[in-house]
């Protein structure tokens, strides 16, 4: 299994993985340059991304196909995305989740009020319209 930067030609596979995981996919094409994909053979089996806003960023939709879950692939994707964020000077990482609060708490994230996120994060399409208002906002300082 290898992880590599996503390409525009990966969009159909990325969208399929996100749809299967009930995650927003509608604006992935605008951020494809900040997505990673995990590849097994010639099949994309996982993805995740980052939406940078100066020195803060929104962690985007880490997802793994069902048959590859439970083997640490999500952790690998998260670790590489976090490293890329740090290389680009990101100081705080935010996310929205409806199902993975415990997963991210175990990795150092804490729950924050949606009203406490930086304006730039709050204005992202994912934050402002794609994710439901019921999603939990979380933050980690890098």
| Type and span of the H or E element at 80 | helix 73-87
Give me the residues paired with residue 3 across strands: 38
pTM of the model: 0.91
**C-alpha span between 120 and 56 (Å, rounded):** 8
E strand segments, 17-109: 35-40, 43-53, 56-64, 92-97
Over its length of 142 residues, how does the chain's per-residue pLDDT go in tens digits? 899 999 999 999 999 999 999 888 888 888 899 999 999 999 999 999 999 999 999 999 899 999 999 999 999 999 999 999 999 999 999 999 988 999 999 999 999 999 999 999 999 988 888 887 889 999 999 9
Domains, the chain, with CATH or none: 2-141 (3.40.630.30)
């Amino acid at each position: 299994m290898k992880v590599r930067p996503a390409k525009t030609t990966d969009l159909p596979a990325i969208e399929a993985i996100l749809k299967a995981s009930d995650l927003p996919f509608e604006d992935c094409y605008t951020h494809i340059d900040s997505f990673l994909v995990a590849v097994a053979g010639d099949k994309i089996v996982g993805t995740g991304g980052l939406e940078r806003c100066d020195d803060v960023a929104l962690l985007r939709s880490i997802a793994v196909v069902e048959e590859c879950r439970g083997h640490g692939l999500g952790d690998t994707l998260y670790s590489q995305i976090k490293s890329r964020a740090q290389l680009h000077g990101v100081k705080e990482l935010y996310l929205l989740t409806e199902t993975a609060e415990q997963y991210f708490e175990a990795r150092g994230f804490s729950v924050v009020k949606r009203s406490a996120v930086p304006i730039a994060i709050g204005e992202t399409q994912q934050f402002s319209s794609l994710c439901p208002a019921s999603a939990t906002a979380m933050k980690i300082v890098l």
